[in-house]
Structure 1
Amino acid sequence: MGEDVAVTTLHDPESRGFASDNYAGAHPEVLAAIAAANGGHQVAYGEDVYTARLQEVMAGHFGDKARAFPVFNGTGANVLSLQSMLPRWGAVICVETAHINMDENGAPERIGGLKLLTVPAPDGKLTHELIDRQAWGFGDEHRAQPGVVSITQTTELGTAYTPGEIAALTTHAHDLGLTVHLDGARIANAAASLDLPLRAFTTDVGVDVVSFGGTKNGLLYGEAVVVLDPAASAGLPYLRKMDMQLTSKMRFVSAQLLALLDGDLWLRSAQHANAMATRLRAAVEGTEGLVITQPTQSNAVFAILPAGVADRLRTRFRFYDWNEATGEVRWMCAFDTTEADVDAFAAAIRHELIP
Structure 2
Amino acid sequence: MTRLHDADRRDFASDNYAGAHPEVLSALVDANGGHQTAYGADAYTARLQEVVGAHFGAGATAYPVFNGTGANVLSLQALLPRWGAVVCAETAHIQTDENGAPERVGGLKLLTVPTPDGKLTPELVARQAWGFGDEHRAQPGVVSITQSTELGTLYTPDEVRALADQAHDLGLRLHVDGARIANAAAALDLPLRAFTTDAGVDVVSLGGTKNGLLFGEAVVVLDEAAAPGLAYLRKMNMQLASKMRFVSAQLVALFEGDLWLRSAQHANAMAARLRAGLDALGDRVHVTLPTQANGVFVTLPRAVSAELRRTWTFYDWHPESGEVRLMCAFDTTEADVDAFLAELRRLLDAQG
| TM more than 0.5 | yes
CA deviations 1:11-47 (Å, max 9, x no partner) are 0000000000000000000000000000000000000
Correspondence 1:63-212 to 2 at 5 A: 63-212=57-206
Residue 329 (structure 2) aligned to one of 320, 328, 334? 334
Q: How far did 1:349 drift?
A: 1.3
Whole-angstrom distance in 1 between the partners of 2:347 and 2:156: 36
- What's the CA shift string for 1:276-300, capped at 9, x where partnerless? 0000010111423200011111100
TM-score scaled to structure 1, two decimals?
0.98
Is 2:207 the counterpart of 1:213?
Answer: yes
- Select the residue among 337, 343, 346 that pairs with 1:348: 343
Partner residue in 2 for 1:230: 224
C-alpha separation between the residues in 2 aligned to 1:314 and 1:11? 18
Q: In the alignment, what sits opposite 1:54?
A: 48
Range moving further from structure 2, 144-153 or 287-296 = 287-296
Q: Kindly report the root-mean-square deviation, in angstroms, between the aligned alpha carbons of the 2 structures.
A: 0.6
**What letter is aligned with 1:127?**
T
CA distance in 1 between partners of 2:216 and 2:230 (Å): 17
Alpha-carbon distance, 1:162 to partner = 0.6
TM-score relative to the length of structure 2: 0.98
Q: Which amino acid aligns with 1:151?
A: I
Look up the equivalent residue of 1:162 and give its one-letter code. Answer: T
Q: Distance in 2 between matches of 1:350 and 1:130?
A: 40
Q: CA deviation at 1:307?
A: 2.3
Q: Measure, in 1, the Cα distance between the counterparts of 2:53 and 2:98.
A: 29
Identity over the aligned pairs, expressed in percent? Answer: 74
Structure 1 regions of 5+ residues with no counterpart?
Answer: 1-6
Q: Is 2:8 aligned against 1:17?
A: no
**Structure 2 counterpart of 1:246, one-letter code:** L
Secondary structure of 2:253's partner? Answer: helix
Q: Give the residue type in structure 1 aligned to 2:50.
A: E
Runs of 4+ aligned residues of structure 1 deviating over 3 Å after TM superposition are none
Q: CA deviation at 1:306?
A: 1.6
SS at match of 1:134: coil
Kept in 1: contact 2:278–2:287 (CA 8 A)? no
Give the number of equivalent residue pairs: 349
TM superposition shift of 1:336: 0.3
Show CA shifts across 1:254-278 (max 9, x none). 0000000110000000000000000
Are residue 317 (structure 1) and residue 322 (structure 2) matched? Answer: no
Counterpart CA distance in 1 for 2:345 and 2:93 is 31
